Amino acid sequence: MIIGNWKMCKTGDEAAAFVEKLRPLVKTTEGVWIAAPFTALHALKGGPFKLGAQNMNEHDEGAFTGEVSAKMLLASGVTFCLLGHSERRHLFGETDQVVNAKVKQALSQGIQPVLCLGETLNEKEAGITEEVILRQLKEGLKGLSMAELEKLIIAYEPVWAIGSGLTASPEMAQAIHQFIRKTVGTRKIPLLYGGSVNASTIQQLINEPDIEGALVGGASLDPQTFSEIINLAL
């Protein structure tokens, strides 16, 4: 599974043009998911790629100016949503508690959560990576039954690797994925790696036993580059 995270890039027209270019370049569209900005969702509705959002509000509706609800996303053709992305956590102050509320809301509304987690450079250097991941998992998944848990996807994205050109080595990523796998206690949750993934790193990463795909930011914006990643991975 390869998920493109477009972040705050592409208008609806740009998204539609991207799909036209990408489609003939990929050997399969199965397993290719795109997390698009809210304002580009309409242009991607109806396929061929599985459509997702990058954030959603944890409440049903009401006085939450500027926010978007699960119901609105469903009506826009969304089937999955990134939750707890490091940019949401670090730039917009999302706590583990807020992430947990969003995960529960997504599940209750039938949107598949892609829970993102990962340590910062300071945390890595302090040797507390596993502690941080454990906290994000425990708090982010609090109160979920095993049946609910198994509807999730988890993306491990070391914050120091996002947009930096520094990818975690396959061995390093595998070790954390194994830790996540052990902590969640089920093999049914796909585990993705994210952080500066590109066409030269994808293959080694997905060859690791507990890395089942990737969350791709910068390299998902160009159809040629994104297609190379997809064709190597799927």
- Cα separation values, 32 from 39, 52, 107, 108, 233, Å: 20, 11, 21, 24, 10
Q: Is 197 in the site for ligand PGA (CB under 6 A)?
A: yes
Site for ligand PGA in 128-157 (CB under 6 A): 157
Asked whether 230 and 26 are in contact (CB, 8 A), the reply is: yes
Query: Whole-number minimum distance, CB 223 to ligand PGA, in Å?
Result: 16
CB proximity list for 213: less than 8 A, separation 6 or greater: 1, 2, 3, 31, 190, 192, 193, 206, 233
d(CA 68, CA 47): 22
Check binding of 201 to ligand PGA (CB under 6 A): no
Q: Which is closer to ligand PGA, CB of 148 or CB of 199?
A: 199
When asked if residue 217 is in the footprint of ligand PGA (CB under 6 A), the reply is yes
Active site residue ranges: 85, 157
Q: Which of 163, 175, 179, 190 binds ligand PGA (CB under 6 A)?
A: 163
Task: Map tokens 């890039």 to a residue.
Answer: 9
Going by C-beta distance under 8 Å and a sequence separation of 6 or more, which residues neighbour residue 125? none
Q: Is 215 in the site for ligand PGA (CB under 6 A)?
A: yes
Q: Site for ligand PGA (CB under 6 A): which residue of 113, 118, 194, 223? A: 194
* Bridge pairing between strands 2-5 and 112-117: unpaired
Long-range contacts of 18-23 (CB under 8 A, 24+ apart): 18/223, 19/43, 19/44, 19/48, 19/49, 21/223, 21/224, 22/49, 22/223, 22/226, 22/227, 23/48
Is residue 190 at the binding interface for ligand PGA, with CB under 6 A as the rule?
Answer: no
The count of residues interacting with ligand PGA (CB under 6 A) is 13
- Least Å distance, CB 78 to ligand PGA, is 17
Selected from 22, 98, 152, 162, the binder of ligand PGA by CB under 6 A is 162
Question: What is the closest distance, in whole angstroms, from the C-beta atom of residue 71 to ligand PGA in the complex?
Answer: 25
Q: Is 119 in the site for ligand PGA (CB under 6 A)?
A: no
Piece of the chain touching ligand PGA by CB under 6 A; list 9-17, 133-141, 177-185, 216-224: 216-224
Residue in the shown chain whose Cβ atom is closest to ligand PGA: 217
Query: Do residues 175 and 128 make contact, with C-beta atoms less than 8 angstroms apart?
Result: no
List contacts with ligand PGA (CB under 6 A): 5, 157, 162-163, 194-197, 215-219
